[in-house]
Amino acid sequence: MMNEIERRRTFAIIAHPDAGKTSLTEKLLLFGGQIQVAGAVKSNKIKKTATSDWMDIEKQRGISVTTSVMEFDYNDYKINILDTPGHQDFAEDTYRTLTAVDSVIIVVDGAKGVETQTRKLMEVCRMRNTPVIIFVNKMDREGKDPFDLLDELEAELKIQVRPLSWPINQGQRFKGVYNIYEQNLNLFTPDKQKVTEKVEVDINSNQLEEHVGTADAEKLRTDLELIDGVYPEFDVQEYLDGKTAPVFFGSALNNFGVKELLDCFVQIAPSPRPTKAEERVVMPEEPKFSGFIFKITANIDPNHRSCIAFCKVCSGKFVRNAPYLHVRQGKTLRFSSPTQFMAQKKSTIEEAYPGDIIGLPDNGTFKIGDTLTEGEVMHFRGLPSFSPEMFKYIENADPMKTKQLNKGIEQLMDEGVAQLFVNQFNGRKIIGTVGQLQFEVIQYRLENEYNAKCRWEPVSLYKACWIESDDPQQLEAFKKRKYQYMAKDREGRDVFLADSGYVLQMAQADFEHIKFHFTSEF
């Protein structure tokens, strides 16, 4: 059991769209033997197996909407990569996926540096002290000076960095990467079919000049001296505590610097970590199984309508057909066909260990955040849902299909596609999302999966705030004053829908005993 736990590495690759997440994922799959063609990243065939374009809508729009899991063995390690949607309108999905990983690799475009999406995702990692490794990609292109880039990473991502590899020049003149961690040199061959050449070089001998030329050799020596002077020695514990991020340089497209990243990653990245439940902290090595649902996705197989709930195993051994307690419903369930994933392929498994992600067929039994145990009543803590950025009234566009519409809305909200608020004044339903695209996804899925039609009507809102107070009188007074703007979320909690930043500020000033929260636990 300990051995199974210790060999697992469950992580996500996160990046701003276009930084190279797909290319990097594909290279990792290549090393894991999941795909066979070296370097042919742009072949559609590989793209199909490596990415997870499960939903129709995703194919139509060319956006990775759903989050999938890819598993493979590498040396003695079992790697679970949780894929995240590339489009920022689905950021909420990515936030939730980050609750199920033990560490993260962030891909940054060497020319563009830190971009908005990277910054936001890093905030979520920081909230959970998730260990982070940074891969600076596209070194085969002209980009920023690596030292400037390190400063930018530190300032923008608010984390200490420590380079573990160092680029020798870049763009047209990119010669390779010096692996600081292993102290050897990787020479770059701009050829996608060839894996890089690794050379053992004493960088203080003139062997270095022979390989990279005098100017670059001199520069490398000075750079390395500077690195040692400026950055403290790499400390694995600091990385595990989420305080320091080791940085690697390379080119995912050319499969350069990726193996170095992977080899170091498996050595230093954490195996499954303890998970916090409301009642207690759960250790992975505990004998009894426990896990939580962090993602529900529909239509993995377009021929079947049922959903798949993704469960992260937190402790013990999950066994097929064993009875497990669905804590929220107080029901015992048995799973006869739990699955593991490899993009579109999935196969039934007999057992799973902490760190693994299992797919459980679901017909509306699960909600995001649900806990499964061997009988103990406990609740894993989810990531809070954030106040949506966009709001619309959802209206029924086909009165004959009211039932279908309501069922569809309920299930899509269970999946965490968006958030639903019911205005207490007029009883109208308001859907809140983080991006415009989600409204389109909801409309499309209601039509295609539930045979229901909806219509959107504008509502001008700024933020949804969950409110609470120790002063019941003031709370009542507030609700009375703002009765047109009071809503309930799906858990029946009071939510104040502020229509402008100004109104919110005034409310905060007038009602000082009321707490306005911009996030809520699931």
Angstrom distance (rounded) from CA 284 to CA 288? 9
Q: How far apart are CA 69 and CA 12, in angstroms?
A: 9
Q: Among residues 128 and 141, whose Cβ is nearest to ligand G4P?
A: 141
Total of residues contacting ligand G4P (CB under 6 A): 18
44 annotated as belonging to a binding site for a ligand = no
Told to check if 185 binds ligand G4P by CB under 6 A, we report no
Does 141 help bind ligand G4P (rule: CB under 6 A)? yes
Q: Is 86 in the site for ligand G4P (CB under 6 A)?
A: yes
Least distance CB 253 / ligand G4P (angstroms): 3
* Span from 12-20, 125-133, 215-223, 232-240 in contact with ligand G4P (CB under 6 A): 12-20
User: Rounded to an integer, what distance in angstroms lies between the CA atom of residue 21 and that of residue 265?
Assistant: 16
Q: Any contact of residue 252 with ligand G4P (CB under 6 A)?
A: yes
Pick one of 1, 18, 235, 491: the residue that binds ligand G4P (CB under 6 A). Answer: 18
DSSP string, 474-500: HHHHHHHHTGGGEEE-TT--EEEEESS
d(CA 336, CA 348): 9
Find out whether 506 is annotated in a ligand binding site.
Answer: no
Under the binding rule (CB under 6 A), the answer on residue 253 touching ligand G4P is yes
Question: Which of residues 10, 11, 22, 405 is near ligand G4P by CB under 6 A?
Answer: 22
Question: With respect to ligand G4P, which residue has the nearer C-beta, 63 or 357?
Answer: 63
Angle among Cα 239, 130, 515 to the nearest 5 degrees reads: 135
The answer for 495, left when phi > 0, alpha when psi is -120 to 50, beta otherwise, is beta
Alpha-carbon gap, residue 442 to 431, rounded angstroms: 10
By CB under 6 A, tell whether 490 contacts ligand G4P.
no
Does residue number 42 form part of the binding site for ligand G4P (CB under 6 A)? Answer: yes
Among 6, 8, 14, 23, binds ligand G4P (CB under 6 A): 23
Please report whether residue 15 would count as binding ligand G4P according to CB under 6 A: yes
State in angstroms the smallest separation of the CB of 173 from ligand G4P.
Answer: 14
Tell me the C-alpha distance between 358 and 93, whole Å: 17
Alpha-carbon span 307 to 424, nearest angstrom = 31
Q: Nearest distance from residue 452's CB to ligand G4P, in Å?
A: 33
How far is residue 339's CA from residue 190's CA, in Å, rounded to a whole number? 40
Binder among 12, 19, 264, 314 for ligand G4P (CB under 6 A) = 19
CA 207, CA 256: separation in Å to the nearest integer?
A: 22
d(CA 197, CA 190): 11
Q: Which residues bind ligand G4P (CB under 6 A)?
A: 15, 17-23, 42, 86, 137-138, 140-141, 251-254
From the annotation, which residues make up the binding site?
83-87, 137-140
From the annotation, which residues make up the binding site for GTP?
83-87, 137-140
